[in-house]
Amino acid sequence: MFDHELAEVYDLIYRRRGKDYAAEAADITALIRRHRPGAASVLDVACGTGEHLVHLGRHFDHAEGLEMSAGMLGIARAKAPNLTVHEADMRTFRLPRAFDAVTCLFSSIAYLGTREGMVAAVDRMAAHLVPGGVLIVEPWWSPDRFIDKYVSSDVVGEDGRSVARVSRTRRTGAKQAEMEVHFVMADPSRIHHFSETHTIALFTREEHLDAFRRSGCTAEFVEGGPSGTGLYVAVRSG
C-alpha cells in the first residue's frame, strides 16, 4: 500500500484534483504559531511524498519528515534533498531530538487500523514535542460521519500521461472501513492498471481525545481542516 506504483502518480492525482499543499501548510503553520508563537522546528509524520513537508520547510527554521512507505520515501527525499526524512513506523519511532511542532496530516493516522496503534502513534508523536509544543493530527471520518458505499472518480492528465482513479468505500465493522481503489494509467508507451485495498479505522472523537490525554497533551477538535474531516490541536503539558 502506498508503495512504488501509487507513489509514481500520487502527486499528479492530488495536484490535479485541486489539493493546495502550499496553502494547507501555511494554515497549519498559523495554527501552530497561534499556540506556540516562537515555533521554529517541525516534524511531519507520515509525510508521504513530502509535499506538505517541502512547504512547512519554508515556514520553519528546521523541518524533518518521517515515512514508512519505501516508494513515498524515495520521492520525498528526492523532492527535498536539503531536509532529513526518516524511514520509520509512526507507532515506534525514536528520534534524537524534540520539536516545537509535530504534524500528521491527510488522515494518515486512520491507516494504523487499530485503537492500540493510534494510541501508540500519538504517544510517540507527543514524546517528540518540547514542553508546550504543538501536535496537529488530521483524522479521517468518525463512525457517525462516515458515508457507507461512497463512490468517487477522477481523470487527470499531465505531460502526455493520463490517470483515471475510481474508488468505493464500505463499512466492514463498527469502527472499520475498506476503500477499494483502481487506477488506469495511460502514456504513449502503454496502458496499465493496478488496484489497492485500504483498511481504514473509524476512530471516534472520544478515542482520539483520550489518546492525547494519555500522552500528556491538552487537545481540542477543530472543525474543517484541509480535507473537511477536522483537525486535532494538542499542546504538550509542562
C-alpha cell at 128: 517528540
- Beta bridge partners of residue 164, listed in sequence order: 155, 184
User: Strand, helix or coil at 104?
Assistant: strand
pLDDT of 2 above 60:
no
C-alpha cell at 230: 477536522
In angstroms, rounded to a whole number, what is the distance separating the alpha carbons of residues 116 and 197?
A: 22
Burial 126-154, CB ≥16 within 10 A → b, else e? bebbbeebbbbbbbbbbbeebeeeeeeee
Q: What is the pLDDT of residues 23-62, one digit of tens each?
A: 999 999 999 999 999 999 999 999 999 999 999 999 999 9
* Mean pLDDT to the nearest integer, 230-234: 98
* Mean pLDDT to the nearest integer, 124-144: 98
pLDDT of residue 238: 78
Confidence band of 6 (pLDDT split at 50, 70, 90):
confident
* Mean pLDDT to the nearest integer, 220-237: 97
In angstroms, rounded to a whole number, what is the distance separating the alpha carbons of residues 49 and 134?
A: 23
Confidence band of 8 (pLDDT split at 50, 70, 90):
confident
pLDDT of residue 3: 63
| Domains of the chain with CATH codes | 4-142+203-236 (3.40.50.150), 151-201 (2.20.130.10)
pLDDT of residue 9: 86
Spacing of C-alpha 40 from chain mean position: 21
pTM, two decimal places: 0.95
pLDDT of residue 35: 97
pLDDT of residue 200: 97
| pLDDT, mean over the chain | 95
Residue whose grid cell is 472543525: 223
Residue whose grid cell is 457507507: 148
Confidence band of 5 (pLDDT split at 50, 70, 90):
confident
pLDDT of 1 above 60:
no
* Mean pLDDT to the nearest integer, 216-238: 96
Of the chain, the percentage scoring pLDDT greater than 70 comes to 98
Confidence band of 4 (pLDDT split at 50, 70, 90):
low
Confidence band of 87 (pLDDT split at 50, 70, 90):
very high
* Mean pLDDT to the nearest integer, 143-159: 95
* Mean pLDDT to the nearest integer, 64-80: 94
In angstroms, rounded to a whole number, what is the distance separating the alpha carbons of residues 165 and 154?
A: 5
In angstroms, rounded to a whole number, what is the distance separating the alpha carbons of residues 189 and 11?
A: 21
